Amino acid sequence: MEETKTNQTLIWSDRWRLGALSKSELMNIGFASVIIGFLFILFHLFGNTVDNVGSASVFKWMISRWGDKVSFGADYSHGYLIPFVSLWVVWYRREEILAAPKKVCQWGLAVIIMALAMHWLGAKMQQTRISLMALIFLIWGIPFYFYGWKVAKLLIFPCAYLIFCVPLNFLDALSGPLQRLATTMAHSMLEGIGIECQRVGTQLISPYFQLNVEAPCSGLRSLLAMTALTAVYAYYTQKTFVKKWLLFLFSIPIAVAGNIGRIISIALVSITAGQQFGTGLHHDWSGYVLFTVAISLMVGFGKLLNVNYRELFKTWKKAYLNHS
């Protein structure tokens, strides 16, 4: 019985009953509600000036791009998870945020004004992506203004992470180069392990199989997903700013390597189990191969970055001198 009461206390505290809140806390909640309502009205009713989704909502425009299977939107299907990750980061660091010294900062007001100007510019140019970026700046700039730099600094990552929600169609231009790179590297590696293979454009032709690395198989989707995943992993596993960025930037060759591994696995399965199975069932499930390779490389490189090489060198030197 006592254990049940303890669990209930962890889930709910009487401290958060409406009647237990102080006048200043009620005013803060009311003020925050007004700001959230203002942002919702501004971006839901006046956020999108493009007619192709039949709505003035920036949120509906963004979600329609996440689920777009025809154009670049399919590469952003991970966008549904991004806001939850950002909220979880804020919740994870809630004690630091609450304990941080708070004061009004005029620089935050400058960020708010800049973000509102960006939104106006995005609406005039019919560039909803600019309005989405403006929303991210507002989400960060408002607490920056009211609570100061110490709080804003803790919110940089969860707010910046929301950029992965924004569909950036100019990345479509990477599809072609990624196709050619993956095909060339896979061809070289297959020949390196003794498999007769010829590359014709983005096709791999062999007496045992014939593969065509089409645009959906370019690795662009895995590249975007791996950068989002690596950003979180780097944030929590690396201690310094430089190491965080090194691991994050390494996510690009990691994703490319994963896609190359996927193409090679399709070729090998086609040789051993037949073309129909390799380019059929295995092809449909080969994404697991890609992410297994990519995540393994991500974790491995993260471990290497965390090694204290100075202490390791001292240990090796001491062992060598003792052995000598």
Residue type at position 211: L
Q: Dihedral sign, CA of 144, 114, 245, 170?
A: positive
Rounded to an integer, what distance in angstroms lies between the CA atom of residue 259 and that of residue 247?
18
Residue boundaries of the structural domains of the chain = 19-167, 172-312
Contacts of 85 (CB under 8 A, 6+ apart): 161, 232
Q: Amino acid letter at 267?
A: A
Q: What is the mean pLDDT of residues 75-98?
A: 90
Q: Are 270 and 277 in contact (CB under 8 A)?
A: yes
Lowest-pLDDT choice from 62-66, 146-150, 157-161: 62-66
Which letter does DSSP use for residue 216 in this model? G
The percent of residues in the chain predicted with pLDDT above 90, rounded, is 32
The pLDDT of residue 152 is above 90: yes
Q: Report the pLDDT averaged over residues 113-118.
A: 94
The pLDDT score that the predictor gives to residue 52 is 67
**Averaged pLDDT for residues 205-215:** 81
